[in-house]
Amino acid sequence: MTRKFESGVRAGACASSVGAVLLLATSLDIEVAHAQAIMRTPTISVPSRTPTISPGIAARAMSVDRGPNGGGTTPRLSARMGPIPVRPYVRYSPNLYPACTAPYRDADGECLAQSNGDGGGSGKSGKKSAGKGRGNNTPVAANPRTFANEFVAEIDGALSLAEADELARRHGLRRVASENFPLIGATVGLFRIADGRPYDTVRREFAADGSVRSLQPNYRYLLQDQKVAAPTEGDPAQYALAKLRLPQAHALVHGANVTVAVIDSGIDAKHPELANSIADNFDALGSSEGPHVHGTGIAGAIVAHGRLMGSAPEARIIAIRAFGGTTGGAESSSYIILRSLNYAAEHGAQIVNMSFAGPKDAVIERAIAATAARGLVLVAAAGNAGAKSPPLYPAANPNVIAVSATDQQDKLFTASNRGNYIALAAPGVDIFLPAPDGKYQMTSGTSFSAAYVSGVAALLLERNNALKPEALRMTLAKTAHDLGSPGRDDLFGDGEADAYAAVTAIPSDNASPVAAASGTTKREGGEGRREEPGIRAIEQPSLSSADDKSTVSQTDRPAAR
């Protein structure tokens, strides 16, 4: 497919399209968790340009060149957004979530487990039993939902490493790793069956040991490759900025001094769009892999500041590599996600972006509750499993802001999840973002919608660093641009995020608070939400730790540079 992008205008015509290939492995009745992105490979020549934005934006984000004769205006980049050489595009790693079909879900919408000796299968058992013991040579099918023969166990924190190894040996296990996690106040280990015994047998015996506090499978979080069809006409590199009213918001704040932890695949910190934005790196995998397209794109949606513009271009990123290890894609696990959340909470993150989805996972639910209790803002992709999917996690956790994806026409992304746990929507279709090695990508998915909202949250925290998470969520909900049926709904939540309305709806650190943004486009009358899987109803908490809820701020002026 070929497309030209010209400065300040909508894109031209597509010459050809690539057919969509859906890798929904429903025939296997499996449940696999993965980062929420769907990406493709255009061949595009991109001249230097600036996003097309309506008049009245911040002078900081754009300057105007009136030509040699002072004629018509031609937008061009400011020094901060100076042009960089045209880079070739790359091949991407898109992701779909192959959820189980309706007959294979329990009353709560969870995929039914199957005891097949592989660590917590999914889907109903077949008529014939898979291998039932050491003496049975019948091969057991691998279960993509979990890591075969692995457990995540909370163990007695008083045990030394030698004693933990002895505990494992008593049950025919090998301790792969273990550590104390201050976030949840527990010592958690990763254990693997070493003697070939059936999974269920080992699980029962290990769980009964007095030194084991809790036990669960090591769930798999996975990225998958998938090409998708050509996009609709329009310049996908710029519409998200106008939809979110980011240029207007950037006249006031840019996310400075706010730290966002990105739990994802590897990020290319050397990319021109991300220069000086990566404040810290943590490889939860302990790997030596290079940067990955998904993590680099997520970071770009938040802090890009070269040719592109992220939602919080001056925020600081803690780059946490939790996904990796497979050809063309990336995967993670319960234990690695726990390590990642613990690192974010222990190293000063104020916001955590989680652009992945999966099954309900007890140890991750516990970690998220503990992270929220520390006052961190948690944002997650709603999921790319479509209308028939059960709730996906961590987005469906009530402590998390779940974000669905919209396109340039404000329509819901076809693959986006629905549900009463959806809090907000944001652009996520045909998004133009950085990719490793100085390249760029065109991509779609709720992953990037979540990243945009994480950046908007950073703008609010720069505006008022004392803002509490519930007040921040309330502000995003009350100032959202209502889409779909009046009030909140299961497609868009409270509506599409509006950065400018949200920023002007709260006080700056030294100003009086406000009750709501003037001229908000949110329609009232949305129905309340049920308790589980994710209550989004927000009472009227104080906007800051000072509990000050008085008058409208009169200090809305461009931030000092």
Q: Are 465 and 377 in contact (CB under 8 A)?
A: no
User: Which member of 34, 171, 294, 305 is catalytic?
Assistant: 294
Q: Are 255 and 455 in contact (CB under 8 A)?
A: yes
Distance, CA of 223 to CA of 417 (rounded, Å)? 17
Structure tokens at 88: 């070739």
Does the annotation count 45 as an active-site position? no
Distance, CA of 253 to CA of 255 (rounded, Å)? 6
The 3-state DSSP class for residue 120 equals coil
Going by C-alpha positions, the residue among 326, 275, 282 that lies closest to residue 304 is 275
Burial class (CB in 10 A: 0-12, 13-18, 19+), 55: exposed
User: Which member of 264, 361, 482, 494 is catalytic?
Assistant: 264
Number of helices (H), then strands (E), in the chain: 10, 22
Provide the b/e sequence for 277-308 (b: ≥16 CB within 10 Å): bbbbebbbbeeeeebbbbbbbbbbbbbbbbbb
Amino acid at 417: N
Q: Are 435 and 293 in contact (CB under 8 A)?
A: yes
Does the annotation count 225 as an active-site position? no
DSSP state of 126: -
Does the annotation count 264 as an active-site position? yes
User: Which member of 447, 449, 454, 544 is catalytic?
Assistant: 447
Q: 475's torsion region: left (phi>0), alpha (psi -120 to 50) or beta?
A: alpha
Q: Are 330 and 32 in contact (CB under 8 A)?
A: no
Going by C-alpha positions, the residue among 522, 431, 434, 442 that lies closest to residue 478 is 522
Q: Using the structure block, give the residue that is written with the tokens 């005891």.
A: 115
Going by C-alpha positions, the residue among 286, 296, 226, 288 that lies closest to residue 265 is 296
Helix crossing, 446-463 with 469-479: angle to 10°? Answer: 110
As annotated, the active-site residues are 264, 294, 447
